[in-house]
Structure 1
Amino acid sequence: MGVAAIALLGAAYWGVRQWQGPQVPAVQVQAQPLVRTLQFSARVEANTRVGVGSTVVGRAAAVEVQEGSAVQTGQLLVLLEQDELQAALQQAQASVQQAQAQLRNVHSTSRISSQAQVAQAQASLKQAQADWARHQQLVAQGFLSQSALEEKRKSLDVAQAQLQAARAQAAASADDGAELKAAEAQVRHSEAVWQAAQAKLVQTRITAPGAGKVLRREVEPGQIVQPGTVLLELALEGPTLIVAQVDERFLDQLSEGQSATVVADAFASQRLAAKVLSIAPGVDAQRGSVEVKLTLDAPPPAFLREDMTVSVAVETGRVDPALVVPLEALHGAQVLVLQNGVATLQPVQIGLRTLEAVHIQSGLNAGDTVLLPPARVGQRVRPLLRSVP
C-alpha cells in the first residue's frame, strides 16, 4: 500500500472519529441493590449509670472495690467507722430495756400498790367517820369540848382527801390511766430512738444498688465523706447503649428500628450489628444536633468499654432491585442518554439518593447508556463505559 493510500485511510479514520465525537464517561443502566447509609461517631454508654455516696457524715474505714471491679447487688463497697454509732445503739437499747421495765412495773407493782393504798385509805376514812360520830355524841352529852370535835373533823377531812388521792393514783395505773399511757409512750419513744440508731449504723455500710461494674473511685480509707458526694460511679448491668449526637439535617432519614453497624476504631475488623432504639424528641439548640441511641443485637464483646468511641453506619434506605445511575449524571430531573450517537436529555423520576448514586424510578430501562460530564446536550459522543458506584 502506497503512502498516498495510507494517508487517505488516516484522513478517513480521523474524519469518522470527528463525526462520532469525543469520548465521554458513561454507564450502562443495570438493576442492582441501592443502600443508603448515614455514618457518624458515637460513644458507648451503660443503660444505667449511677453515683454512689453516703447519707451520713463519717470517715471511710475501708474501700472494698477498685475501678473496673465487678460488683453484685448488696455487695459492700465502702465501710465507714462505726464506733460512735455502735455506742449510740447500745445506749438506745438500754433505754428501751429501762422503759419496758418501767411499763412492766406500772402493769404489776404500781397497780397492786395503788390498790392497797385505796384499801388503806378507805379503812382510815371509815375509822375517822366512826370517831367523828362518837365525838359528836360525847360533845352533845357534855363530856367533850367543841374543840375536841373540831380536831376529829379535821381528821375526817384528811382521811377523805387521802382516799381521793389513792383512787386517783389507782386510776392512773389502770389500763387507760395516765401513768400507764406515759409508760407506754416512753417505750415507743425509746424504741424509735433505737431504730434510728440502727438505721444510722446500717448507713455506714455503703453497698451496691445493683450488679454492675465500678467505673470511677473517688474515695480512699481515712477520708471524711459528706452526704451528697459521689464516692463511686457504677455502670449497672443492662443493655449497652451506643449514643450519638447526629446533625439535625439528617433527622428525616432516621427512624426507630433501623438496622446499623457499629465498629470500634481499635477493633475495626469486628463489626457489631445494632438497631436504632430511640431518637430524642428535642434538638440541642447550641449544637444543632439530636441524640440518637442504639442497642446491640447481641451481648457486647469484652473489648467494648464505657465511653469508647465507635463509628456507626445506619441503613436509612434500601431499594432492591433498582435502576441506578451516578449522582453526577443528574441534570435536575433529567439525564443525558445516548441515542443514535447523540447526547439526548431524558426526563426521569428520582427515588432514593445516596452520596454517590440515585435510584431512577421511571424514564430509563435496563441497558440504556447514560452519559456523564462533560457530555453536553446535542453533542455527538462516543461512550467510555464505567461501572455504577
Structure 2
Amino acid sequence: MPNKVPKSAFKWIIGSIVVVAIAFIGFRFWKSQQAELPEGIVSGNGRIEAKLVDVAPKEPLRVKEILVNEGDLVQSDQVLVRMDTTTLEASLAEANASVAAAQERLAQAQASIVKQKSEIELADIELERVKNLLGDGAASQRELDVRKSKVETTRASLAEAQALLKTATQEVEVARANAETIQTRINDATLKSPVTGRVLYRLAEPGEVLEPGGGALTLVNLDDVYMEIFLPANEAASVKLGSEARITVDYEPERSVPAFVSFVSPDAQFTPKQVETKSEREKLMFRVKLQLPEELATRYVEQIKTGVRGVGYVKVDPSTAWPTQLQKVIAARPATR
C-alpha cells in the first residue's frame, strides 16, 4: 500500500497554498491600486513627437557640400549645406562694377555743380561791375546784356547739373540695391539650421540640382517636443488649455516629465462627424496635445528620441494631487544648492 501523507503535513501544504494565494491576490490588488488614477486626472497612450523642419534653397542651385549626416544633432544657425554660387558671384562682381561706375558719374555730377556755382558767383560779380560802369558811363548797354545772358546761362547749366546729380544718385542706389540683392542670394545659398534639432533625413547629395523649396535635409525640431493623446468626449470636455500634465515613457515609467496642455482638438476623431445618439457620442475621441516646456527640451536635447511610446496624464481638477508614481519628476533645471 502506498504511504499516506500525514495529516499534519497535508494541513501545512494547504496552509502554504492559501498563504501564497493571499499574497498573490494582495500583490495584484496593490499593483492595481498603484496604477489606478485618482478622480481629477485622466490619461491616454501616445508617443513623443516633434515638429519637422525642411532645410531647402530659395532658388534652383547645385549642391556643393552637405556638412551633416542623418542622426546628427545640430544647433540653431549652424551651417548645414552650401550651394554652388559660382554664377551668382560672377553676377555680384558685375553688379559691384556697376556700383563703381555709378559712383564715378555721381562724383562728376557733384564736381559739375561746384563748378557751375562758382561760375554763377563770378557772373553775378561781373554783372554788378558792368552795372556800376554803365552808371558812370564807362560801359555800354550791350556789355550789360551780355553779362545778364551769362548769368542766365550759368544758372541754367546749374539746373542741368543738379538734374544729372539726381539721376546719378538714383543710379548709385539702384546699382547698390542690385548688388545687395545678389549678395543676399549668395548668403541664402548657405543653408543654416533654423532650430535646434536632429537630422532625420538627408534628401540630397553633392552635385544634385535642387528646385526652389526642394529639401536638402529634414530636421526634427527639438525645441517643439510634445505628446498627443486621445481622450473620450466626457474627459476631453474637462481639459483646459494650460492644464498641468505629466508624461511617462515605456522604457522608464518610474520617472515622469512635466508638461502642459497646449491644444485640444475641437473635432472628434474615429467616428462620423454627425452623431445623434448619446451612446455614439460617448465613443468620440478628441486629440489633446501635451507640450514639453522649451527649457526642459533644451536641457535634455541630446536624450530626446522621437517615436518613443508612453502615457500622458492631465489634471482636469487642479486641486487633485498627483499619485505617487507620477511624483518623481525630471526637473527643468539642476537643483541649486
* Higher share of residues assigned strand: 1
Cα displacement (A) at 1:56: 2.0
Residue 192 of structure 1 corresponds to 177
How far apart, in 2, do the equivalents of 1:276 and 1:119 lie? 83
Aligned CA RMSD, in angstroms, stands at 4.3
Residue 91 of structure 2 corresponds to 88
Q: How does 1:124-203 map to 2 (within 5 A)?
A: 164-173=152-161, 177-203=162-188
Residue 334 of structure 2 corresponds to none
User: Matched residue of 2:62: which SS?
Assistant: strand
Q: Pick from 61, 64, 67 the counterpart of residue 61 of structure 1.
A: 64
Aligned AA (2:45): S
Aligned residues: 261
Aligned AA (1:179): L
User: Matched residue of 1:284: which SS?
Assistant: strand
The reply on whether 1:40 has 2:25 as its aligned counterpart is: no
* CA distance 1:240–1:226, change in 2 (3 Å): same
Q: Pick from 201, 206, 212 the counterpart of residue 227 of structure 1.
A: 212
User: Matched residue of 2:218: which SS?
Assistant: strand
Are the aligned partners of 1:49 and 1:233 in contact in 2 as well (CA < 8 Å)? yes
Q: How does 1:78-117 map to 2 (within 5 A)?
A: 78-109=81-112, 111-112=114-115
How far apart, in 2, do the equivalents of 1:92 and 1:313 lie? 58
* CA distance 1:88–1:301, change in 2 (3 Å): closer
Cα displacement (A) at 1:303: 6.1
Q: Pick from 286, 292, 302 the counterpart of residue 290 of structure 1.
A: 286
Residue 208 of structure 1 corresponds to 193
Residue 256 of structure 2 corresponds to 273
* CA distance 1:35–1:115, change in 2 (3 Å): same
Mind listing any 5+ residue stretches in structure 1 that lack a counterpart?
1-26, 131-135, 137-152, 321-389
How far apart, in 2, do the equivalents of 1:162 and 1:212 lie? 75
Cα displacement (A) at 1:107: 1.9
User: Matched residue of 2:265: which SS?
Assistant: coil
Percent of aligned positions with the same letter in both sequences?
24
Are the aligned partners of 1:259 and 1:315 in contact in 2 as well (CA < 8 Å)? yes
Cα displacement (A) at 1:86: 0.8
Cα displacement (A) at 1:278: 0.8
* CA distance 1:186–1:60, change in 2 (3 Å): same
Cα displacement (A) at 1:219: 2.0
Cα displacement (A) at 1:76: 1.4
Are the aligned partners of 2:259 and 2:290 in contact in 1 as well (CA < 8 Å)? yes
How far apart, in 1, do the equivalents of 2:167 and 2:246 lie? 71
Q: How does 1:233-244 map to 2 (within 5 A)?
A: 233-238=218-223, 240-244=225-229
Residue 251 of structure 1 corresponds to 236
Cα displacement (A) at 1:301: 8.6
How far apart, in 2, do the equivalents of 1:85 and 1:43 lie? 45
Deviations 1:215-271 (A, max 9, x none): 2222221222222333322233436322223343542575621445332xxx3x554
Are the aligned partners of 2:196 and 2:223 in contact in 1 as well (CA < 8 Å)? no
- Structure 2 length-normalised TM: 0.61
* CA distance 1:191–1:314, change in 2 (3 Å): closer
- Structure 1 length-normalised TM: 0.54
Are the aligned partners of 1:89 and 1:197 in contact in 2 as well (CA < 8 Å)? yes
Cα displacement (A) at 1:295: 5.1
* Higher share of residues assigned helix: 2
Which structure has the larger Rg?
1
Deviations 1:39-91 (A, max 9, x none): 53312113x54222222221111111111112222221111111111111111
Are the aligned partners of 1:41 and 1:309 in contact in 2 as well (CA < 8 Å)? no
Residue 76 of structure 1 corresponds to 79
Cα displacement (A) at 1:188: 1.5
Greater RCO, CA 8 A, separation 6+: 1
Are the aligned partners of 1:262 and 1:312 in contact in 2 as well (CA < 8 Å)? yes
Aligned AA (1:195): E
